[in-house]
Structure 1
Amino acid sequence: MNSFPQRHIPVLGGQAIEMLEPRKGGLYVDATFGAGGYSRAILGIPGTRVVGIDRDRSAIAGGFDLVDRAGGRLTLVEDRFSNLERICAAQGLDAVDGVVMDVGVSSMQIDVAERGFSFRQGGPLDMRMGHDGPTAADVIASASETDLAAIIYIFGEERHSRRLARAIVAARQEAPILTTRSLADIVSRVVRSKPGEIHPATRTFQALRIFVNEELDELHLALAAAERVLKPGGRLVVVSFHSLEDRIVKNFMVERGKAGGGSRHLPELAHAAPSFVILTKRPVTPDDDEISANPRARSAKLRAAERTNAPAHAAAALPAWPVLADVLRRG
């Protein structure tokens, strides 16, 4: 009998564990612990050990029962998953057999109005996955019109970004924008949607959430950290939920899955051996039954790769997009 019954099944959870291939006695990192779905499945294999990471204190607290039941095989750490290499070192783990991550905001966070992620529920304009740092309201209050337009365009892929930025700046001069509904109302006056289309505020809220939590920088750093901590033969499995995330994961795996071409300026790259073998030629996506049971699954994509014995590639510089600290300082 499985002593770790699943109370929450992650999107593409079965496929993710199948790709991860946890084996008896293996060491694994659940880089986005959430409700513990991946960790429970991994702990169902005898002798496995899991380090679960989540920046959300409520997720960590919700996992204490699983920690007790795991009998010393599960360690939970409240931290950003970009720090997984340092976290593993602190646990005395030089290398691990697998890293699994489910990128983006969780259903638990969206469904709690007080967290301020959803425009469909009234709540404070917060959007922080953790419990520290600036909120979305802070960004809306102080970012310049230029920065707001860039944030909404880059992280929300919203073509009306300039008009929205102007409208936000004009509205905040009249009164502070402190709630999800007040921001959603401003956006809805600028962006019109037809029946059957996504809510007008969807892309703007996505952009703010990604920006406040520095999600894309975190993902870049976490993927590179996973590359450094995985043993040869260890597997990296990533589930993402929108095109910006999936593009980062895809590009990372493609880049690491081929030998460096090099150039006359950087000839040493010509000898960089592939650090991963790609296991998913095409991303794995949910079937109709899973989408019917959970409509939020419809955009999910899973990609997986297996670590070779080649050295980790040099980490690339982060993209030159708006940075939270810089935007707030300029504001």
Structure 2
Amino acid sequence: MGDRAYGHVPVLAGRVTALLMPALTASAPGGRPPVLVDATLGRAGHARALLAACPGLVLIGIDADATAIEAGRELAADYPGQVRLAHTSYDQIAAVAADAGYRRVQGVLFDLGVSSPQLDDASRGFSYAQDAPLDMRMDQSRARTAADVVNGYPVSELARVLAEYGEERFARRIAEAVARERAREPVTTTLRLSAIVKDAIPAAARRTGGNPAKRTFQALRIEVNDELGALRRALPAALDLLSPGGRFVALAYHSLEDRLVKRELTARTADPAPPGLPVRAGDMLAGTRPSGTAQAGPLFRLLTRGAERPDDEEVAANPRSASARLRAAERIRPA
């Protein structure tokens, strides 16, 4: 995520707007204004661009970070009556929409991962480049911090987290090094953990791939916030919430997130008819379905071919966009 107020622009803002616009510029059923759920509001960079582009749009902004919700109040003041905010995890998307009075919406946006303001605020403990308490909670009302994981998990469980969520090939070595250090004194700061990780990784492996602590910090952040669990729950709920013609856009920043998005969209856009049938489900959608039979075929169609990546110009303007992967889909019929 990114925001101008913090020296960054929203990632792929133009492309996100172009993909969502067809769904957000048409009236919702019953003549109601179209509704977009920004499920990861952040500092509302995408939300602001979409509200400016789509007059009358109703925006529901969700974020687990209370500071993001507070910033969202400025957006609500600029667009009176059009913005509703919910301080919760985005896997609660269906309940949030229902509480706002909507069973179906016309657009959903996921901008996954940690936001630029969270990275830039050293006190939050997300960055391995600045000294701070090992926190990493997106929702600071939660109890468990990264320090709790680092100091409380058995070596085998800590190694599993680093390998699974950080794709760290030296996970066991790092976990054992952490265990030795925490036995002397609890590991409570970001720079101390970074130093432990660096010393645990062979010198030859440290010469490439950026900061050697990057994968460890990613893994701990995902574990602390249950990011992949929340995404697994949120994806089907978000897609089920869309009305026909509604569109879904997701921005992922590492392969684990992107893999989950890809898997869900692939399943939703697949033709469910068994191969070998004389009439394929796609033919039924084209109007050759026998009279009286149930409608078949995929519920969604892909709007992107594979994962779209930012171009050189985008990366130059916003270096944190470099790892972004964008996928989008449109609902083409009711369930």
Task: Provide the TM-score with structure 1 as the length reference.
Answer: 0.87
- 1:284 maps to a residue whose letter is E
Is 1:18 aligned with 2:7? no
Counterpart for residue 77 of structure 2: 68
Q: CA deviation at 1:38?
A: 1.7
- Contact 1:94 / 1:229 at 8 angstroms: preserved in 2? yes
- Please give the per-residue CA displacement for 1:221-259, whole angstroms capped at 9, x wherever unaligned: 111111121101100000011111111111111111103
Take 1:238 and 1:140, find their aligned partners in 2: how far apart are those partners?
30
Take 1:205 and 1:136, find their aligned partners in 2: how far apart are those partners?
9
- Contact 2:177 / 2:200 at 8 angstroms: preserved in 1? yes
- Tell me: CA distance 1:114–1:262, structure 2 relative to 1, closer, same or farther (3 Å): farther
Take 2:206 and 2:192, find their aligned partners in 1: how far apart are those partners?
21
Structure 1 vs Structure 2: percent identity of aligned residues? 43
Counterpart for residue 298 of structure 2: 274
Q: CA deviation at 1:63?
A: 1.6
3-state SS of 1:14 partner: helix
Counterpart for residue 214 of structure 2: 202
- Contact 2:250 / 2:261 at 8 angstroms: preserved in 1? yes
- Please give the per-residue CA displacement for 1:266-293, whole angstroms capped at 9, x wherever unaligned: xxxxx97422111111222111011112
Take 2:115 and 2:328, find their aligned partners in 1: how far apart are those partners?
21
Task: Provide the TM-score with structure 2 as the length reference.
Answer: 0.86
Larger radius of gyration: 2
- 1:204 maps to a residue whose letter is T
- Contact 2:245 / 2:332 at 8 angstroms: preserved in 1? yes
Take 1:262 and 1:80, find their aligned partners in 2: how far apart are those partners?
37
Q: Map 1:1-331 onto structure 2 (within 5 A).
A: 9-21=9-21, 22-23=24-25, 25-44=33-52, 45-131=54-140, 132-191=142-201, 192=203, 193-195=205-207, 197-260=209-272, 273-311=297-335
- Contact 2:9 / 2:318 at 8 angstroms: preserved in 1? no
- Please give the per-residue CA displacement for 1:290-320, whole angstroms capped at 9, x wherever unaligned: 1112221111011000012242xxxxxxxxx
3-state SS of 2:322 partner: helix
Q: Which contiguous aligned blocks of 4+ residues in structure 1 show a shift greater than 2 angstroms?
A: 5-9, 192-197, 259-263
- 2:113 maps to a residue whose letter is G
Q: CA deviation at 1:6?
A: 7.1
Take 2:200 and 2:296, find their aligned partners in 1: how far apart are those partners?
49
List alignment gaps of at least 5 residues for structure 2.
27-32, 276-294
- Please give the per-residue CA displacement for 1:56-111, whole angstroms capped at 9, x wherever unaligned: 00011112111111111001111100000000000001100000110000110011
Take 1:174 and 1:194, find their aligned partners in 2: how far apart are those partners?
25
- Contact 1:6 / 1:41 at 8 angstroms: preserved in 2? no
3-state SS of 1:299 partner: coil
Counterpart for residue 285 of structure 2: none
Mean CA deviation greater in 180-189 or 278-287: 278-287
